[in-house]
Structure formats: C-alpha cells, structure tokens
Structure 1
Amino acid sequence: MVAGRKANKRPSMFEVAKLAGVSHQTVSRVINNSPDVSTSTRAKVQRAIEQLDYRPSNSARSLASHRSRTIGLIAGGQNFYGPISAIGAIESIARSHGLFMSVMMVHEALCTQKEFDNLCRTFDEQNVDAFIFLTPTDVMFSAACRARISRPRVLITSAHGGMGVQEELRLLRPADRRKVALVGIDQWGAMEDVMHVLKARGHRSALYFAGPREWRDAFTRLAAWNKLCATNAVNSVTVQCKTWEGGEAYAKMNHVLENIGRSGGRLPSAVVTANDAQAMGVARAMHEHGVRIPQDVSLVGFDDMPGVDNMLPPLTTVRQDFETLGQLAMCEVLYLLGEGAEPGYASSQHGVGLVPAKLVQRSSVGGASSR
C-alpha cells in the first residue's frame, strides 16, 4: 500500500500524478488516450496506474469530456435470431471502442410511441451520447423517426416497408435530420442471388413463404421476390404467414400439398422461405408427404441459423453479415459524434446504407424436376 493512503480507500487521479511525477491533467490525457502525451510519460503514468490499481471514475471522465461514453440501444425482436445476432455484434464493437451499451428491449409489434418516448427520456437522464434503434417493424421504425431527441441516432432497418424511409424522415426537424443515419442488410441483393441460382437450375415455378407483413425485412424480401419473378418469367405463388414460426409454415405447406393431392395439380419446382424456421417447417411437411428435397422440390431459406447446415439435406440459405452491420452502425455513431470517418457502403437504397448478404449454397437446391 502507498504510504499516506488509508486501506480500502480508492486511489485518486492526484495520487497517480504524484507517483508518476506529472500533473493530474497529464494523467487525464493518458486515461482518455490523448495523442498529446510522449511515449515515456505515458509509460510512467501507466506504471503508476498499475501500481496503485487505479480505476478511473466514469462519472468524472464524463464531467471532464462532456461525454458519458454510453450509447443507448432500443431494440425489438428479442425472440428472433436476426435482431439478437445484430445486438451482440453492436455490443462487441462498442466495447472495442471503449463505449458502454445501455440496452432496453421492446415488443416489436406492440410498442407505442408513448412507450418509445419514455425509454428515450430514460436514456436522456443517463446522458447517453447517442442512440441506436434496432427497428425491425414499421411501428418501431415510425416511433424511432418521430422520437423528439436532440442526440445523434442510428436506425437499423430495412430499405422498404409499409412506411417509406424518406416519408418518415421528413417528419424530423431539419436540425435533427442531420444527425440521423440508417443502416441495414441488402435484402434486395440477397433475393437477386437466390433468383440467379434457381434460374440457372431451370426453375420456373415456385412457392414463396412470406414473413409477417409488419416486419420491414419481410416486406423488402417479398417486394424483391415479386419483382424478380416478373423480370425472370418465374411463376410464383405467395403463401403469406402471420409469424416467423416453423409451425405455421408446416401447417400451411401441409395444406398446399393436400390441395395438390386432391386436385391432381403439379408441385412447384422450388420453395423459397423468408427465414430458416419456415424452411424447417416446409421441409418437415414435404418429408411427411413423400416429397424429396431436392429431387422433387428445391428449398431455400434465409438467415443461415445455426444447425441448418445439418438438416437433411443441408439447407441452401442466405447468411446475413450481422458483425459488419454492428460495426457500421457503430461507425455511424462515431461519425455523428465527430470521432470517426464517415463509413462507406457498397450500395444504398432510399438513404439506407446496405451491408451485403451471402447466399450459402448447399444440397437442398437441385435442377428443376421434370415431373
């Protein structure tokens, strides 16, 4: 223990400065990673910090820098693979930049503007530096755009939905609009890759299992699929689902197969689903009806959830790059805070910077059956 300091008393910045033989301002600059400190001085201060086991007070650092180094994250979709993966990536990237994440979850479909505004006020009381809003549904996207906050906000969303991006952003005050950034996954490009593979294998008829209408990713995937089918002369029938659950897709696929059996109709050569859980349900229904994958019908999912590579057969699906999504969301935060360069994107739509997704080809897709 350093002489003159009582046991169990937390060491102060002034004690670090005294031990290192520097001013407390210099210690502060070292703690805040200022470049205006020589290598030798920085080393002396670090040695003193380690010797005293000094831990800087976050509240003191906030007062000195006028920054809390805390980001407020409001997110929906806590029960789903995509949003949870994105939250994990965001938190990891934030931690690597020395930032703290304060997270609040809401129900993505039942969240009201009042609830959203109350959460924002709670974060304001914590003096967060910026907000990240993970808004998978139209109702959350609208609430995030309408929130009356002055701090920078980054919205993670899809480029399309029942509510248009630019229409919603016009509701913002001009001063606030300059402090908003939007990032998302390139759903449209992913569906183009799916169509390219199916067309190359000779598929001209398909079923498309759509996700819940209020989810912006589901809206974008369906809009892209319908346009691509029209462009590529693929005859597609949409099976609209109210949930993302495999059980619903299983029941609906059973109904489709039973109708085909009764009417003597033809199977589509391919089934494309809006997520992997739906693909699992569809695969189960086809197996129970003696429909072989891919010999009779090819199957494509979306998400590349853990385990789908071990389905029988392994599932062809789209892998979304949530790590890069989280990284770019944090880059946008740092840029809006004046602490980093403006991030670049390979493509964008309606002002949403897009992260590419990758089609992972496995053996659930084959050539179109001649049956």
Structure 2
Amino acid sequence: MGRTKDERRAPGMHDVARRAGVSHQTVSRVVNEMPNVRPATRARVLQAIADLGYRPNSAARALVTRRSGTIGVVTSGSMLWGPSSALLGVERAAREAGYFVSLASLGSDPAQVGSTLAHFHEQAVEGVIVIAPEASLQHVADPLLTEVPVVMIGAPPAPDSAVRTTSVDQEMGGRRATRYLIGLGHKQIHHVSGPLEWFDASLRVAGWRAELAAAGLPDGTLLVGDWTARSGYAAGVRIRELIHGRSPQAPTAVFAANDLMALGVIHALAEAGLSVPRDVSVVGFDDIPGADYFTPGLTTVRQDFEELGRRCIEILLEALRGEPSIVAPIAPQLIERASAASPRD
C-alpha cells in the first residue's frame, strides 16, 4: 500500500508541537534558541524534533533571529593555486566558526553580479567575502554594504570605503625573494610576473623593484606571464637567448611570480643545456605541493592560506559585532631549497 499524503510530507513545526504536547510558538522559541522556555519543556521539544527528524526552515528562522548562519563568498572562478587555496581557507575557517558558505563564481561575466547579489539577499547572508585577485572584482559587493559587512581578500585597502580587507603581504614576498638572491651575490635578477591587472602580480613586481633599488642595483628585465608553466617556458626561452648571446642584460637569477612559471623557466633553461642553479638561480612563489620535488627542489615563497582564512572570518565577525578591525597583512615565508645558489665567478 502507498503512504498517505501526511506520511509522505516532511514533518513540520506543528507535528513537533503535537508530539511534544506544546504550542507551535513554544517549538519556535526552542528552535530559535530563545529564552523563557522551561528546561523540561525544551528537552521534550528537542526529543520530539529528534524522533520526527524535523529540520527547521532556515529562511523562516533567519526572519525570526536575523541570523542565517550563512556567509556569501564571491570568487572569480579561477582554479589557480592562490585564489582556490584562499577559498578553501575561508570555507574551513567559516565552518569552524559555525557558518556555512554560499559560493558564487562570477567568472568573466559581469551580468552575473546582479543575480548573485539578489541570491545572497534572498538567503539573508550575514556577511559577504570577496576573493578579488583582479581589479574587476574590487567593487563587486559594494551594493550590499548598507545591509551586511563586506570583507575583501587581496585588494588593497581603500581609505574611503567601508569594505574591510585582508591579504598576504605580496610586496613583502617579492622583496624577500629578491633580497635572498641579492644576499647570494646576484646583481642581474630578472622577474617573470603574473598578469599585471592582478593585485598579487603587481605587488610582487613592486617588491622586486623596491629591493633592487634598496641594494643599489639596476632594474632587471620584467617578463610578463599569465601564471601558466607555458608562459614561464616562453620567458625562459628569452632568458636563455640573452645568456647564449652573452648579453650584458643576461641574468644570473630569476624570480618567478609563481611556482608553475618557475617550472617553465627551469624547463626552458634545461633544454638549452643550462643548469639550475649552476648557471641560473630560480626562485618561485606559492610553495605548491610538489615544489620540493622539482629538479632541483624549488626555493620559493610560501603563503599561509589557513591563517588568511582565519583572519578573514575574524574580521567579518568583528564587523558583525560592530567592532573595529586593525589587521596587518600576513607575512609570507621564504622556503630555501636547491634551486638558488651563489653565482659562478
């Protein structure tokens, strides 16, 4: 025999009330963790909820408590190591803080912005986090600022904006990589950057240039890549041409703005019979899994995405409590391996 209509539907608040022998309003107060419910009554309602397998309606609960337990996260949809690792760090930290994440990936379609913000509004998200590696996403959540706090990862802080920001100190990372190579004795240090419209890429370029200037060294050559190993390989071909042509601009060291481009550089040099680090030292950025198994193991700059996620959620919770946030950027760490050494005499 088939089940009746009442047996097929999910249990509701009235079913819980009937089972516990209380009013609908009492069940609502228990579900929404409101005071003025006797412990024995609360226990009876909770037991009825467990017996029936009742699941509260999160949208209705949000209307009562003004808490949905949900944070909206906007990303560009990039699968690159930095943005995807930042997303994972935020999701883990949000879960530890008792929040769920509602994810919106915008890609390159600006028409999606309106529908995304409307969706967040319908979900009654308590705050929005924007992982903004590119300038095009910097102001994407501005329309929600009057309703919920917004925290942005990656974008530089704007003094006149209510958006709170946090990031890994990318310029410091660029400086540390360059300073390390200078300390080994290198004077011609080229840089393979990411796309310059990315905040991380432009800040790493700034760090490289600032450290060269601080050491009294001339600017090296800037070769712009696109984060891929293929673009690193193309830069490596240009570098090996300078070396084989005995150009005065030929580098003894290369700082690549991510590990994949460093891998491409190393491959191009090896094809031409050049050895790393004997002929050219190479330093990367990110410390992706497997960077220590490159040939040779890659010296690189590590970003702490777990800490970035925790800081981001802390800032959002402070905003929800109406507290100020004063957060310094997270310092990256230089990881020394075998791909960099002193230049040959």
TM-score by length of 1: 0.80
Measured in 1, the distance between the counterparts of 2:300 and 2:103 equals 30
State the 1:11 CA deviation: 3.1
State the 1:288 CA deviation: 0.9
Cα deviation 1:3-43 (Å, max 9, x = unaligned):
xx953443344554665677766655654566888988766
Q: 1:36 to 1:321 in 2, by over 3 A?
A: farther
Is 1:306 paired with 2:294? Answer: no
> Partner letter of residue 125 of structure 2?
V
Structure 1 gap ranges (5+): 160-164, 348-353
Cα deviation 1:335-361 (Å, max 9, x = unaligned):
22229x66663x2xxxxxx12222222
State the 1:365 CA deviation: 1.8
Q: Superposed, which structure 2 residues align to 1:16-35 within 5 Å? A: 16=16, 28=28, 31-32=31-32
> Partner letter of residue 368 of structure 1?
P
SS at match of 2:152: strand
Cα deviation 1:129-183 (Å, max 9, x = unaligned):
2221111111221444577753221111243xxxxx43xx63x5xxxx2xx2111
State the 1:292 CA deviation: 1.3
Is 1:322 paired with 2:319? Answer: no
Is 1:133 paired with 2:142? Answer: no
Structure 2 gap ranges (5+): none
SS at match of 2:54: coil
2:175 corresponds to which residue?
192
1:55 corresponds to which residue?
55
Q: Superposed, which structure 2 residues align to 1:151-190 within 5 Å? A: 151-159=148-156, 165-166=157-158, 170=160, 177=162, 180-190=163-173
State the 1:283 CA deviation: 0.5
SS at match of 1:364: coil
> Partner letter of residue 85 of structure 1?
S
Is 1:369 paired with 2:344? Answer: yes
1:359 corresponds to which residue?
334
Q: Residues 158 and 220 of structure 1 are in contact (CA less than 8 Å); yes or no, is this contact kept in structure 2?
A: no
SS at match of 2:130: strand
Q: CA RMSD in A?
A: 3.1
Is 1:102 paired with 2:99? Answer: no
Cα deviation 1:221-243 (Å, max 9, x = unaligned):
11111011110234441333241
Q: 1:323 to 1:59 in 2, by over 3 A?
A: same
State the 1:91 CA deviation: 2.0
Measured in 2, the distance between the counterparts of 1:39 and 1:235 equals 74
Deviates more, 1:81-90 or 1:66-75: 66-75
Q: Residues 70 and 129 of structure 1 are in contact (CA less than 8 Å); yes or no, is this contact kept in structure 2?
A: yes
> Partner letter of residue 133 of structure 1?
V
Q: Residues 188 and 220 of structure 1 are in contact (CA less than 8 Å); yes or no, is this contact kept in structure 2?
A: yes
Q: Residues 149 and 316 of structure 2 are in contact (CA less than 8 Å); yes or no, is this contact kept in structure 1?
A: yes
> Partner letter of residue 324 of structure 1?
E
SS at match of 1:271: strand
SS at match of 1:272: strand
SS at match of 1:101: strand
1:351 corresponds to which residue?
none
Is 1:211 paired with 2:208? Answer: no
Q: Residues 117 and 141 of structure 2 are in contact (CA less than 8 Å); yes or no, is this contact kept in structure 1?
A: no
Cα deviation 1:100-136 (Å, max 9, x = unaligned):
32222123xx454x55344323432443322211111
Q: Residues 70 and 102 of structure 1 are in contact (CA less than 8 Å); yes or no, is this contact kept in structure 2?
A: yes
1:71 corresponds to which residue?
71
Q: Superposed, which structure 2 residues align to 1:224-303 within 5 Å? A: 224-263=207-246, 265=248, 267-303=250-286
Q: 1:357 to 1:39 in 2, by over 3 A?
A: farther
> Partner letter of residue 140 of structure 1?
L
Q: 1:17 to 1:97 in 2, by over 3 A?
A: farther
Measured in 2, the distance between the counterparts of 1:299 and 1:18 equals 71
Measured in 1, the distance between the counterparts of 2:142 and 2:7 equals 52
Q: 1:144 to 1:128 in 2, by over 3 A?
A: closer
Q: Residues 206 and 234 of structure 1 are in contact (CA less than 8 Å); yes or no, is this contact kept in structure 2?
A: no
